[in-house]
Amino acid sequence: MNQHDKLALPVGTTLDRFIMRKQEDFPYATGELSQLLRDIALAAKIVNREINRSGLIDIAGAYGNRNVQGEDQQKLDVIANIRFIRALRNGGEVCTIISEEDEEVIQTGNVQGKYIVAIDPLDGSSNIDVNVSIGTIFSIYRRVSPTGTEGTMADCLQTGTNQVAAGYVIYGSSTMMVYTTGNGVNGFTYEPSLGEFFLSHPQIVTPQSGAVYSVNEGSSNSFSSGMAAFVTYCKEANYSARYIGSLVADFHRNLLKGGIYIYPPTSKSPNGKLRLMYECNPLAFIVEQAGGKSSNGRTRTMELRPEDMHARCPLFIGSKELVEKAEEFLAQEEVVES
Ligand code: AHG
Ligand code: MN
Ligand code: MN
């Protein structure tokens, strides 16, 4: 291809233009959700810059604090939390934020804001220091309380079925943002020299089945009998085991290639380790929109009632057939044990 032909090619659809086009599909949309998604994308670019430089400057590694879950808080966790909260506060559309890194809800002061955001600002933090993919996960709800006041607990503890949008950013071999507003799933890849996300994965459809299972088998001594039987089934079927230890990265691979990700109950984390509001629900919304499935092994993730904004739940997520197969093994265990 000569230089002239190359110049004739369009550069592609930017995330901003895509969001705007989608907004035009809804005649009564006010543009606030569009602005909110753009705010998240902007914060993601800033966090991406910090992550790319983290080996050069002293921001990788533990910060010395522990977060509400009692885990070591990494410096980049703190930085990402600050960046996302600042972008959401400045944008004005969000009244209240729930973050993995903050025990209490964050009131942005934008009492007219219609939206609630739940966020895991930096997922996979144990992988920061070793140059392995990490991510951000977010979930957006419309408030149920009237505008003009601060967001309430009822606003924050809605079931996943009420999500109006959800997405994640993966900071990997390239940086991507993948999101849904309930009308399919689209993925955008970051072009660092232009500072823009471009539509690279339109209308993602996840395979109905797959040959990959992703679970931390180091905990297999405390798997339930049904869970252990499912893992044996995967091995007998010659499936591949793939486990990065960054939920976003494991989820993203399985979304595109097919597979199942599981964080089951273990003796260390009897209710699973992952959090319903800002890890499980957003990914459940995305996987369902892509044709996959998500449950706690029995109940659809998005129908679980959140007891607490930091509540944890087991997660079985990915290709429909594999999630259903795992559920069958768990149902069998109840029959055997009763
Ligand atoms: P976070 O860094 O936000 O605390 O999340 C870590 C999570 C998730 O990303 C990953 O899948 C899981 O922890 C790994 O846990 P194990 O090391 O127990 O397998
Ligand atoms: Mn996480
Ligand atoms: Mn995190």
Nearest to 286 by CA among 309, 261, 313: 261
**What b/e readout covers 267-303, taking b as 16+ CB neighbours within 10 angstroms?**
eebeebbbbbbbbbbbbbbbbbbbbbbbbbbeeebbe
Stronger pLDDT, 97 or 7, i.e. the higher one: 97
Atom of ligand 1 nearest to the CA of 126: 2
- Annotated binding residue at 273? yes
Q: Calculate the average pLDDT of the chain.
A: 93
Task: Check: pTM over 0.85? Answer yes or no.
Answer: yes
CA of 219 to the centre of ligand 1 (A): 13
Ligand 1 contacts CB of residue 247 (under 6 A): yes
Ligand 1 centroid from CA 131, angstroms: 15
Ligand nearest to the CA of 124: 1
What are the chain's domains? Answer: 15-201 (3.30.540.10), 212-337 (3.40.190.80)
Above 60 in pLDDT, residue 68? yes
pLDDT tens, position by position, 141-174: 999 999 999 999 999 999 999 999 999 999 999 9
The dihedral region occupied by 212, where left means phi > 0, alpha psi between -120 and 50, and beta the remainder, is: beta
Mean pLDDT confidence for 307-327: 98
Model pLDDT for residues 223-239, shown as the tens digit of each residue:
999 999 999 999 999 99
**Residue holding tokens 């597979």?**
259
- Compute the distance from residue 60 Cα to the ligand 3 centre, in Å: 14
pLDDT at 338 over 60: no
Q: Of ligand 1's atoms, which has the minimum distance to the CA of residue 266? A: 18
| Mutation to probe ligand 1, out of 126, 136, 254, 271 (largest number of atoms < 8 A from CB) | 126
- Of all protein residues, the one whose alpha carbon is nearest to atom 3 of ligand 1 is 123
What pLDDT was estimated at residue 3?
73
- Contact of 32 with 63, CB cutoff 8 Å: no
Q: Ligand 1 pocket check: which of 77, 217, 274 to mutate, most ligand atoms within 8 Å of Cβ?
A: 274
143 CA from centroid of ligand 2 (Å): 24
Determine if ligand 1 sits within 6 Å of the CB of residue 203. no
In whole angstroms, give the CA distance from residue 235 to residue 240. 8
Average pLDDT over residues 70-86: 87
Q: Which of 210, 230, 191 is nearest to 291 (CA)?
A: 210
In whole angstroms, what is the distance from residue 98 CA to residue 81 CA?
11
pLDDT 10s digits, 86-142 = 999 999 999 999 999 999 999 999 999 999 999 999 999 999 889 999 999 999 999
Q: 94 exposed, middle or buried (CB, 10 Å; 0-12, 13-18, 19+)?
A: buried
Residue 337 pLDDT grade (very low, low, confident, very high; cuts 50, 70, 90) = low
Q: Evaluate: CB of 81 within 6 angstroms of ligand 1.
A: no
Ligand 1 neighbour 121 (Cβ under 6 A) = no
272 Cβ inside 6 Å of ligand 1? no
User: Looking at per-residue confidence, does 280 or 70 come out higher?
Assistant: 280
Is any ligand 1 atom within 6 A of the Cβ of residue 77? no
The alpha carbon of 97 and the centre of ligand 3 are apart by a number of angstroms equal to 15
pLDDT, mean of residues 67-76 = 74
The neighbour count for residue 131, using CB atoms within 10 Å, is 11
